[in-house]
Amino acid sequence: MGEAQKAKIISKLLNKIYPKTNIPLNHKNIFTLLISVLLSAQCTDVNVNNVTKNIYPKYYKPKHFIKLGRKKIEKLIQRIGIFRIKAKSIYNLSKILVEKHNSRVPESFEELEKLPGVGHKTASVVMSQGFGHPAFPVDTHIHRLAQRWGLTNGKNVLQTEADLKKLFPKKSWNKLHLQIIYYGREYCKARNCYGLTCKICTSCYPKRKKPLITIKA
């Protein structure tokens, strides 16, 4: 079975299971979406939402975080991993947004990726979920699933992203990214399925008998 055929099977299954996809990170505007995505690195969406539910009702603009200062931002997000580094990034990017972008989140990959703490994956999420532009954010979880399903042999997330973009229609990227995340959490877990039990794995590889070891991103 080729990659294109697997992609069709996967799309059909995911559209059936997840006809609608909600953005998992709670946010008030595009700026707070950017902050939440930044906070989600090495942290669960649930933990981020639990922390930000006490922040965003009061602080939701770049000027709010500048006024808070780094130390107070640290206190607000201290339940999140590497919170000091993230607090520094939030403070510095807030200053840049105010000084260079009229307090607005820039609507381009180039400008987003210039912001402190914002890598390609974070920029992709903001472009897709915030602005609605076609993008395919690939994190380590999607990278693992794409390998497990035989859609890529990519050794890193950028190669996997390129491979997935070739296989799936551009109009499906934004929704598909979320569908894959939800499916991985529910059915194709790293320490559960091993490429042997879920519907996608058994459909793409009906004869697979041994657990699949994927290449880390």
**Residue 34 has which token pair?**
């950017």
- Domain ends where: 105, 130, 155? 130
| Residues 34, 123 share a domain | yes
Identity of the amino acid at 86: K
| Residues 14, 83 share a domain | no
Taking each helix axis from N to C end, the angle separating 157-167 and 3-17, rounded to the nearest 10 degrees, works out to 90
What are the residues whose beta carbons fall under 8 Å from the beta carbon of 169, sequence distance 6 or more?
Answer: none
| Residues 142, 122 share a domain | no
| Residues 119, 65 share a domain | yes
| Residues 114, 167 share a domain | no
For the residues of 37-104, what is the DSSP string, one character each? HHHTTTS-HHHHHHHHTTTTTT--SHHHHHHH-HHHHHHHTTTSTTHHHHHHHHHHHHHHHHHHSTTP
| Residues 54, 121 share a domain | yes
| Residues 95, 14 share a domain | no
pLDDT in tens, 37-72: 999 998 999 999 999 999 999 999 999 999 999 999
Q: Give the Cβ contact number of residue 109 at 10 Å.
A: 16
**Inside any domain, residue 216:** no
How far apart CA 1 and CA 207 sit, in angstroms, is 11
| Residues 59, 16 share a domain | no
Domain that holds residue 66: 30-130
| Residues 161, 73 share a domain | no
pLDDT in tens, 181-214: 999 999 999 888 989 999 999 999 999 999 888 8
Report how far apart, in Å, the C-alpha atoms of 51 and of each of 29, 54, 68, 70, 132 are.
Answer: 16, 6, 16, 16, 26
Widest distance between CA atoms in the chain: 59
Q: Model pTM?
A: 0.92
Domain count within the chain: 2
Reading phi first (left if > 0) and then psi (alpha if -120 to 50, else beta), residue 3 is in: alpha
**Inside any domain, residue 184:** yes
| Residues 183, 155 share a domain | yes
CATH number of residue 106's parent domain = 1.10.340.30
Query: With contact defined as beta carbons under 8 Å apart, do 138 and 164 qualify?
Result: yes
**Inside any domain, residue 86:** yes
Query: With contact defined as beta carbons under 8 Å apart, do 10 and 204 qualify?
Result: yes
pLDDT in tens, 130-162: 999 999 999 999 999 999 999 999 889 999 999
Query: With contact defined as beta carbons under 8 Å apart, do 28 and 56 qualify?
Result: yes
| Residues 157, 112 share a domain | no
CATH number of residue 196's parent domain = 1.10.1670.10
- pLDDT (0 to 100) of residue 191: 85
What average pLDDT score do residues 165-177 get?
96
SS3 115: coil
| Residues 142, 90 share a domain | no
**Inside any domain, residue 77:** yes
